[in-house]
Structure 1
């Protein structure tokens, strides 16, 4: 993949949208391209993580042992929490189809932050959006559970 192609991909991802052309070129020079086959587990829940992944092509499932948490496609990114925390991965990531990823490691990310903190804006916005979606889901599940419990307590009520 050419540097210019990487720059165009980076520019299309919310995380990097506010960065200068110069900064995008410097990221494109160090970010690594990775091909993954359908069914390949990119990382496993509980693994130590230190990479952020951008999807150029393909489809990735973010999941735990029982549930799919998200399906991500071109121009999405994942693994950002491991760049900000030394905690282990909170979910697994598996390629649903042959995919092309760009991988940025934690060291490269911190080097980028030293020269341009605007990248944090994209991460914060993404984390807030994902947190709001999770809060909404938790609220819906809680309501559903309460309704189910109420029907079990008084099956004639409805």
Structure 2
């Protein structure tokens, strides 16, 4: 993948959207491209988190065993939580289809955070959006359980 292609991809990801062209080029020079086969586990729950992943192409399942938490696709990122918290991975990530990922290692990620505060803003916005979706799912599940309990009475 050419540097310019990486820059266009980075610019399309909310996390990097506010960065200067110069900064995007410097990230594109160090970010690594990985081809992931369908069914390959990218990381496992409990692993040490050492990479941030951006999806160029493909579909990734974030799951805890057989329980799928979400599916992510092109221009989305994952793996940021364990980089920020230094905790082990709280879920596994598996490719649902052949995928192309761009990865930043922990050192590169922290260096980026030190120089570009807007990255933190992007991460916080994404985490808030994901939390809202999870809260909505919890409410739906609670309502479903309540309806089922009322039906059985």
CA offsets 1:31-78 (integer angstroms, 9 cap, x no match): 111111111000011111121100111111111112211121111111
What CA RMSD, in Å, does the superposition of the two structures yield over aligned residues?
Answer: 1.0
Aligned-partner Cα distance in 2 for 1:19–1:151? 53
Aligned structure 1 segments of 4 or more residues deviating by more than 2 angstroms: none
Number of equivalent positions: 153
Q: TM-score, normalised by structure 1?
A: 0.93
Report the secondary structure of 1:33's partner residue: strand
Aligned-partner Cα distance in 2 for 1:85–1:72? 21
Alignment-derived partner of residue 151 in structure 1: 151
Unpaired runs of at least 5, structure 1: none
Alignment-derived partner of residue 118 in structure 1: 118
Alignment-derived partner of residue 44 in structure 2: 44
Unpaired runs of at least 5, structure 2: none
12-21 vs 63-72, which deviates more? 63-72
**Contact residue 49 and residue 82 of structure 1 kept, 8 A:** yes
Q: TM-score, normalised by structure 2?
A: 0.96
Q: Does 1:137 align with 2:137?
A: yes
Deviation at 1:150, TM superposition (A): 2.3
Deviation at 1:115, TM superposition (A): 1.2
Deviation at 1:112, TM superposition (A): 0.9
CA offsets 1:63-114 (integer angstroms, 9 cap, x no match): 1112211121111111111221111111111111111100011111111111
